[in-house]
Each structure stands twice: as structure tokens, then as C-alpha cells.
Amino acid sequence: MATVLRATFKKGEALRYTGHLDILRTFVRGMRRAEIPFKYSEGFNPHAVMSFALPLGVGTTSECEIVEIQMKEQIPVEDFIKAVNEKMPPESIEVLRAEYSDEKTPVIVKAEYVIEYENETDLDYGEIEDALSGKEILIEKKSKRQMKEINLSDHIFNHKIEKKDEKSFTLYVTVSAGNTFNIKPQLLTDGLKSVCPSFKPILALPNRKKFIFEGE
């Protein structure tokens, strides 16, 4: 009988500027208050046995985060969802669905984002469209060992610009995600700034909407 519970959850606006470790603590605190029978590690400093798929950076909300939790015993997933959500602060964490599985989490290869931008001055939407449509955008991306120059355009797959007015728009975009290449919203924003002179955002509010897995 599988004892690994895989849950998909929403990271709400109240946690937009909260780091990953505090997200983890919030989740564990909610499970403790809900009296969920999850496992702790052994040793001098025991901690909840759980792992997150591609944790979010500070400043981004999400509707598709994935966490795997080692349980002491199975409880109905409906009870888990209801009990945990009742103990979470408003607009923080909301478990959307859950299942038991012994299989590994599918490999994440892309992610869909919706980003709300507000600019300092009037925008040249033509240059932004050109940049997102294949224009070379050379940026430095930090890997585990070194800085590496990449062409950001190679990692932008789909996009749509929804203009609000001359200074603000919503960007719907699909980019590389996962352990090999993970294009964060801040990296995308910096890349656009480097090739679009009119793009000087004073506000960027990213939301991760969906993961795309290998084979999809």
C-alpha cells in the first residue's frame, strides 16, 4: 500500500514574497494542526519527510505546486485536503488535489506563467512582440558551478500579450522548466529589458499556472 501522498497546491497572494523554507514550515504547521499522520525523519534534528517539485522563487504565486509527503498511514485524500485547507491562513496554501503513489513524480520540462506588468513609460509593443517571437536574447544564467551564456529565445515556446493600456499588459508565456533549464520569471523579465529599450517595468506579478511533463 502506497504511503507517499502527492498533493498539488496553490501558493496564494499572502505568500508571494515568502521564501521556500517558510512555505515548507507553513505546510508542516498546517498538517500538524490538522493532525495529519505524516512521517518525521530520525536523528538529532527530525523534520517532516517531504519534497517539493521545482520550488518557487520569491515574488511568484502558483496554482500548480507539487509536494510529496511520506505518511505513517493512509487516510482518505478527501479528508487530507479538507483538514489541511481548514488550518491554513487565508490566501496562503490551498491543496487542490491529492493522490497516493509509489511512482516518481513525472519529469517537468516546461511551465506556463501569467505575468502582470506595469511599466514606467509608454511601451513599444512591437519590440516586445519581436523579442518574444525569436529575437536573440543573450543572458547569463547561473548553474551550480559557473555562469553560462544562453539564448533565452530557445526556451520560450508560446506567448500571448494582452494589452491593458500604453503602460501595462498581461503576458501569457510557456518556458523551459525543470532541472536542466529552469527559466524563472525574473530571468525572463531581465532578458526582455536587455533587448527592449521601452520595457522598464516598475511592477511584475508572476503566477505559475501549469507544469508540462515529459511526454506531454
Q: Is the pLDDT of residue 53 over 70?
A: yes
Q: What's the CATH number where 74 sits?
A: 3.30.70.580
Same domain for 50 and 84? yes
In angstroms, how far is CA 42 from the centroid of its own chain? 30
Cα–Cα distance for residue pair 120/131, rounded to 1 Å:
19
Instruction: Report the mean per-residue pLDDT for the chain.
Output: 94
Same domain for 63 and 126? no
Average pLDDT for 172-195: 94
Same domain for 94 and 119? no
87 Ramachandran zone, left/alpha/beta (phi>0; psi -120 to 50):
alpha
Same domain for 96 and 114? no
Same domain for 11 and 83? yes
For 9, 10, 13, 166, 211, the CA distances from 208, given in Å and listed in that order, are 11, 9, 12, 25, 8
Same domain for 130 and 147? yes
Same domain for 112 and 81? no
Cα–Cα distance for residue pair 189/211, rounded to 1 Å:
20
Last residue in a domain, options 81, 100, 119: 100
Q: Is the pLDDT of residue 166 over 80?
A: yes
215 Ramachandran zone, left/alpha/beta (phi>0; psi -120 to 50):
left
Q: What's the CATH number where 114 sits?
A: 3.30.70.3190
pLDDT digits (tens, 9 = 90+) for 136-162: 999 887 766 778 888 999 999 999 999
Q: Is the pLDDT of residue 171 over 70?
A: yes
Same domain for 139 and 180? yes
Of the listed ranges 100-104, 132-136, 203-207, the one predicted with least confidence = 100-104
Last residue in a domain, options 72, 100, 128: 100
pLDDT digits (tens, 9 = 90+) for 88-122: 999 999 999 999 998 888 899 999 999 999 999 99
b/e map 108-147, b = 16+ CB within 10 Å: bbbbbbbbbbebeeebeeebbeebbeebebebebeeeeee
Same domain for 134 and 198? yes
In one letter, which amino acid is 197?
P
Last residue in a domain, options 56, 81, 100: 100
Question: What is the share, in percent, of the chain residues with pLDDT greater than 90?
Answer: 85
Same domain for 86 and 130? no
Cell of 142: 547561473
Same domain for 38 and 58? yes
**Residue 152: what pLDDT?**
94
As beta bridge partners, residue 190 has none
pTM here is 0.93
Same domain for 17 and 63? yes
Report how many domains make up the chain: 2
Domain with 20, as residue range(s), is 4-100
**Residue 27: what pLDDT?**
96
Containing 83, the helix (H) or strand (E) segment is helix 77-87
